[in-house]
Amino acid sequence: KAGVTQTPRYLIKTRGQQVTLSCSPISGHRSVSWYQQTPGQGLQFLFEYFSETQRNKGNFPGRFSGRQFSNSRSEMNVSTLELGDSALYLCASSLESSGDTEAFFGQGTRLTVV
Amino acid sequence: QKEVEQNSGPLSVPEGAIASLNCTYSDRVSQSFFWYRQYSGKSPELIMSIYSNGDKEDGRFTAQLNKASQYVSLLIRDSQPSDSATYLCAVNGRKSSNTGKLIFGQGTTLQVKP
């Protein structure tokens, strides 16, 4: 059974640009969560989507947004990139709520902002 | 007080020994607990989930949960050099503001020496 697929794997962007990251969850999984991982802050929750609805959002500025499509695939967007947005962005897929059932991570998208 | 706390380590054990990784959490109503393994430069990989007090064994791994003490641990028996990684403890967020998200500790780095 295919795992969680994130694209692209690596991105280099310039400050002020915007970026869109994609996540395809495990087939049958309806919950997609996004996390940012940095050496200093660890894994920080961005948001969770379930059945195309954002159910929760972490403490990130409005420049971070996301959406989920009817096939459960999800995208996250970061506008007006800042140097501090450089991080590993991880998508987690779970059957129901990612807080209650096992969540499986994709390989991540490593974003570098220069 | 951090919501999920782990000793950052490194925890160094000889090959064949038992590695004991510990985690405490602050939210008394948390119901789901997970251990992830993350190799350097890779994404987190789920290795254990535990929902009830007591022990849960899976191969060389045993997760232990004590909700009264708000404590969860992971034991790795017969440690191998390939177990060298960072181990992340994750707890579900049951407060309304934490719905649908996992709260991660900073991780414990394990080094298994041949």
Instruction: Find the CB nearest A98 among B88, B94, B100.
Output: B100
Tokens of B1: 């007080």
* Residue carrying structure tokens 């640009």: A17
Query: Which residues have CB under 8 Å from B107's CB, separation 6+?
Result: A42, B6, B8, B38, B86, B87, B88, B89
- Cβ distance A104 to B46 less than 8 Å, yes or no, reads yes
Tell me if A99 and B34 make a contact (CB, 8 A cut-off): no
Interface contact flag, B88 A104, Cβ < 8 Å: no
Task: Give the model confidence (pLDDT) of A47-60 as tens digits.
Answer: 999 999 998 899 99
Min Cα–Cα distance to chain B from A5, Å? 12
Closest residue by Cα to residue A98 from B96, B43, B90: B90
| d(C-alpha B105, C-alpha B87), whole Å | 9
pLDDT by residue (tens digit) across B52-108? 999 999 999 999 999 999 999 999 999 999 999 999 999 986 665 556 689 999 999
Q: Which chain A residue has the Cα nearest residue B35? A: A102
Please work out, in degrees rounded to the nearest 5, the angle formed at the alpha carbon of residue B99 by the alpha carbons of A109 and A37.
Answer: 25
- Return the residue matching tokens 């902002």: A113
